[in-house]
Structure formats: structure tokens, C-alpha cells
Amino acid sequence: MTQVRNVAVVVGSLRKESVSRKLAKAFAAVTPNLKFDIVEIGDLPHFDQDLESDPPAQWVRFREQIAAADAVLFITPEFNRSVPGALKNAIDVGSRPYGASVWNGKPGAVISQSPGAIGGFGSNHHLRQSLVFLNVPLLSQEAYIGNSFSLFDENGELVNEGTTEFLRAYGQAFSAWIDTIAPAQPAAKAA
């Protein structure tokens, strides 16, 4: 039996009824072999290198949560053909102090979504550009979820079977990617 793989989920949208957050929950439901923890980013003070001598508690919490994970999953909407500012700030906070990035070498995947047909293509690629620089080995399979506002019922449950099957396949690919980049260690036997 191998260890359970812990995945930090960074959701790019802050709003209460975030479609990205709903997608994160739907993804976790169809990928039962991984443990997902949403890491909140809405309370992170803007990155300012002058604060590094006494980093805000929110930065410390965020960095510790990302560092403790085996992998990271980003689920984001598209704002103005790019990522939301809160997500970019979280990436910057995690990348510092210089030489101590919590992203370095951590297997990752990106899912973008938008109410339009192209599913956040711009945000997906802008995010990938930053993550490649930060040495996050990304699953090369791309995930764009278009027409995303129509995929959920009034209770926030995913009701589109095609999207459910796509997320299930993407979850299997992500699980295999994590095992490729950071092979699981066998669980220790009880003495």
C-alpha cells in the first residue's frame, strides 16, 4: 500500500459562488486516490519584499501549506486574458524568499475555466509561463473548461456528464504525473 498523495489546490477566484471552486470540488470527487486541500489565497497581503524580514502570518501559513503538499493543482478563471491578481500574488508570495520557493520541483497541473467557449486559454497559458519559470513540472495535458457557468445546478453540483468524464480522465493523468515526478514511498510497516 502506498501513501496517500496530498494535493494543494489553489483556486484563482475569490468569490463565494466561484465556478473554479466548484470545479475543484467536482475534480476531487472524481479523483478519489488523491487528497485535496484548498489553500486559501484571499487573505494574502500583496507581496512586498520589504516585509520578508518579518513575513505576515498569512504568508507563512500559505508557504507551509504549499510546502507540505506532494503536488499542486491550480484552477482558475480568466480575467482580461490572464490570471486574477490574487492568484498572481499567491504565486509571488510562494516564490520568495529568493532561493526558498515552495513551488520548486512540485508536480503541478492547471485547469482554467470561463463562461466563454475557449475555457480560459489566456489564463491557462499565462499561468503556465510563470510556473515553468518557477520549476513546477506541469502535466502537459491541457484543461480548458468552456461554458463553465452552465455546468452546475443550483446546489453547485456538476451536472454535465462530458465534463465529469473529462475531469475523471484528467485526474487519472494527474495522479500518474505525480507518481512520475515524485514517486510515492511505500507505507512503513507496523512493528
> Is it true that the peptide bond before 115 is cis, omega within 30 degrees of 0?
no
As a whole number, mean pLDDT of residues 136-144 equals 97
Is residue 130 within a helix (H) or strand (E), and if so which, with residue range? helix 121-133
In this prediction, residue 188 carries a pLDDT of: 54
Which is higher by pLDDT, 87 or 185? 87
57 CB contacts (<8 Å, ≥6 apart)? Answer: none
In angstroms, rounded to a whole number, what is the distance separating the alpha carbons of residues 153 and 150? Answer: 8
Over residues 58-117, the pLDDT tens digits come to 999 999 999 999 999 999 999 999 999 999 999 999 999 999 999 999 999 999 999 999
As a whole number, mean pLDDT of residues 160-174 equals 97
Q: To which residue does cell 486559501 refer? A: 40
As a whole number, mean pLDDT of residues 156-161 equals 96
In this prediction, residue 1 carries a pLDDT of: 40
CA–chain centroid gap for 143, Å, is: 12
In this prediction, residue 183 carries a pLDDT of: 84
* DSSP structure class, residue 116: S
In angstroms, rounded to a whole number, what is the distance separating the alpha carbons of residues 108 and 5? Answer: 13
Over residues 4-55, the pLDDT tens digits come to 799 999 999 999 899 999 999 999 999 999 999 999 999 999 999 999 999 9
In this prediction, residue 4 carries a pLDDT of: 78
Task: Please say if the pLDDT value at position 184 is more than 80.
Answer: no
34-38 β-sheet, strand order:
34-38, 5-11, 71-77, 108-113, 143-145
Domains (ranges, CATH) in the chain? 5-181 (3.40.50.360)
Q: What is the pTM of this model?
A: 0.94
